[in-house]
């Protein structure tokens, strides 16, 4: 600073500095310390003394190496004399600036040569300009000017700290949200498993009873009631998991050309026949669309209309009417609607009817039950298919109309007829199934019901027993639970495929997308989600054996 100007000027400026100290804003915080490097004479001590009297926290550095090291710790600003920056030193400083955190841009006050700007000053400014927050100050510099510059630099640094703290809070919030999301997913998956497992033997038993021709007629309605409510419990679990899949973008579509008229007919027949009969509802179908095929996932589109029809039946009083209609609009899209004469929707509720966990009112929730997930899932599924869903109602007790618009596709060509694979060279002995299940009730019921269909069933309760049985006996197929006392069904599959090349079906209460992908990748031909009924299990066994027979023939 050329001894910070002359002695009389220093005295005057010291007085000004003392006045400035009354207005100093910088608190004595470690992260607002000012680093000073002025290698000639007593410049560093003079600068530090003046700034300390103004209330700033000052640390003097002996050389550029120390300065670069100190800058990596919390610092508010740097005062640096030009003569300290040799070529090597400049490279060191540039490297240190490049190592700052993304939010950081520490202010540098660079004191240039006394009285004039040198070529060296221009070179330094050019080198630091793209990388540093640099202010050039020609000497001699008045102390009051330096104090003002430091105060401005620290004010800028505080704003950087605010950004840092905001980013840290945002990162913490994101991490907490991700942890909560993972915890929620884990909880839902575990809850699903724990709820599904006891439902499985009940559903299999009640399904078998419903198909028993010897069941007394007076019990059939009760059996149907039990079966319907078990399926409803399962559907509520599925809705929770579907909502999680959709929110995480994990829901996959397996698309094909779908005849929506056939899909509507199937959804109507499988949805609520007993409720329709009991409530004496009139069902009308007006399927006028000529272009009725869409490119989509048949199972998911069935889920959409199953939900819409179920809601129409649920909210329509006895003797009411439900109309299913299809038509093509002017743009060629397929327009499908489900109209009822039920309780209707208040205008204020129509805007949020497709939100998750939303129902029109608590009174409706208490009276009709449900979680308010069905329509949210319908909306997400329809939009995944590139369509849209809307609702119209004139108000309370004036019915509702839910309308789905989907893009049509051409009618597919008929698939060639393929003869199903034979049962194995004319063999007449029963198919042998190894059932691996550690839930005693499920194992007992499943074994008994498969036995009534003519299968020979052997039960193992853990992996080691299953391995031993496959080594001692011949089986046609393995049906295995995934969660077993001494490992997983995947561990068992690796063994039986390596030694016996047996087809296998996974059965589990875990039904998330990741669970299904993992079992398919491991080599299971099917992944059945509990609770399953006997026809579903029998169909899966037939598909698995058929796929294996075709694969063996191709080899």
pLDDT digits (tens, 9 = 90+) for 399-444: 999 999 999 998 876 644 434 344 444 445 689 999 999 988 889 8
- Could you tell me if 4 and 140 are in contact, meaning their C-beta atoms sit under 8 angstroms apart? yes
| 21-28: Cβ within 8 A, 24+ apart | 21/53, 21/54, 21/55, 24/54, 24/55, 24/56, 24/147, 24/151, 25/151, 25/154, 25/155, 26/55, 26/56, 26/57, 26/76, 26/150, 26/151, 26/154, 28/55, 28/57
Residue with tokens 């990162």: 171
Per-residue confidence (pLDDT) for residue 554, from 0 to 100: 58
pLDDT of residue 303: 86
214 φ, ψ (degrees, to nearest 5): -90, 0
Query: pLDDT for 193-243, tens place per residue?
Result: 777 888 888 888 888 888 788 888 888 888 877 877 787 677 777 777 777
Query: In the prediction, which pLDDT does 386 show?
Result: 94
Burial group, residue 33, by CB count within 10 angstroms (0-12, 13-18, 19+) = buried
Question: pTM here?
Answer: 0.51
The ranges of the chain with pLDDT < 70 are 1-28, 114-120, 131, 232, 250, 356-372, 413-429, 549-555
């Amino acid at each position: 600073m050329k001894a910070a100007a002359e002695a009389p000027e220093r005295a005057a400026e010291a007085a000004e500095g003392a006045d400035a100290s009354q207005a100093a804003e910088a608190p004595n915080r470690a992260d607002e310390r000012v680093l000073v490097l002025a290698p000639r004479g007593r410049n560093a001590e003079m600068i530090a003394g003046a700034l300390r009297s103004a209330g700033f926290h000052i640390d003097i550095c002996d050389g550029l190496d120390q300065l670069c090291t100190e800058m990596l710790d919390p610092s508010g600003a740097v005062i640096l004399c030009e003569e300290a920056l040799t070529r090597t030193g400049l490279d060191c400083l540039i490297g240190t600036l490049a190592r700052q955190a993304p939010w950081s841009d520490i202010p540098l006050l660079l004191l240039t040569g006394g009285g004039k700007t040198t070529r060296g000053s221009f070179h330094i400014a050019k080198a630091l300009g793209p990388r540093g927050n640099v202010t050039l100050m020609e000497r001699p510099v008045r102390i009051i000017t330096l104090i003002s510059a430091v105060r401005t630099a620290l004010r800028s640094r505080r704003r950087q700290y605010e950004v840092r703290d905001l980013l840290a809070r945002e990162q913490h919030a994101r991490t907490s949200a991700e942890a909560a999301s993972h915890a929620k997913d884990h909880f839902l998956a575990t809850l699903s498993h724990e709820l599904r497992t006891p439902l499985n033997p009940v559903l299999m038993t009640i399904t078998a009873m419903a198909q028993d021709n010897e069941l007394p007629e007076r019990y059939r309605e009760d059996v149907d009631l039990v079966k319907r409510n078990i399926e409803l419990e399962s559907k509520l679990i599925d809705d929770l998991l579907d909502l999680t899949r959709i929110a995480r973008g994990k829901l996959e579509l397996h698309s094909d050309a779908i005849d929506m008229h056939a899909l509507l007919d199937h959804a109507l027949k499988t949805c609520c026949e007993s409720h329709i009969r009991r409530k004496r509802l009139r069902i009308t179908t007006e399927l006028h669309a000529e272009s009725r095929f869409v490119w989509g996932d048949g199972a998911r589109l069935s889920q959409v209309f199953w939900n819409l029809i179920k809601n129409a039946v649920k909210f329509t009083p006895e003797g009411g009417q439900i109309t299913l209609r299809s038509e093509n609009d002017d743009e060629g899209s397929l327009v499908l609607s489900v109209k009822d004469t039920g309780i209707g929707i208040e205008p204020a509720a129509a805007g949020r009817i497709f939100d998750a966990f939303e129902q029109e009112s608590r009174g409706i929730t208490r009276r009709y039950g449900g979680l308010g997930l069905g329509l949210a899932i319908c909306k997400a599924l329809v939009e995944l298919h590139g369509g849209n869903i809307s609702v119209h109602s004139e108000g309370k007790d004036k019915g509702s109309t839910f309308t789905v618009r989907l893009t049509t596709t051409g009618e597919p060509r008929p698939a060639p007829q393929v003869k199903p694979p034979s049962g194995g060279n004319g063999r007449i002995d029963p198919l042998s199934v190894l059932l691996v299940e550690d839930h005693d009730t499920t194992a007992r019921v499943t074994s008994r019901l498969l036995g009534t269909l003519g299968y020979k069933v052997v039960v193992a309760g853990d992996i080691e027993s299953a391995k031993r049985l496959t080594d001692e006996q011949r089986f046609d197929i393995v049906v295995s639970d995934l969660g077993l006392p001494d490992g997983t069904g995947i561990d068992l599959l690796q063994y039986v495929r390596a030694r016996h090349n047996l087809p296998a079906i996974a059965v589990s209460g875990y039904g998330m997308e990741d669970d299904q992908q993992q079992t398919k990748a491991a080599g299971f031909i099917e992944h059945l989600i509990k609770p399953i009924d006997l026809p579903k299990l029998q169909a899966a066994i037939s598909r698995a054996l058929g796929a294996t027979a075709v694969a063996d023939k191709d080899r």
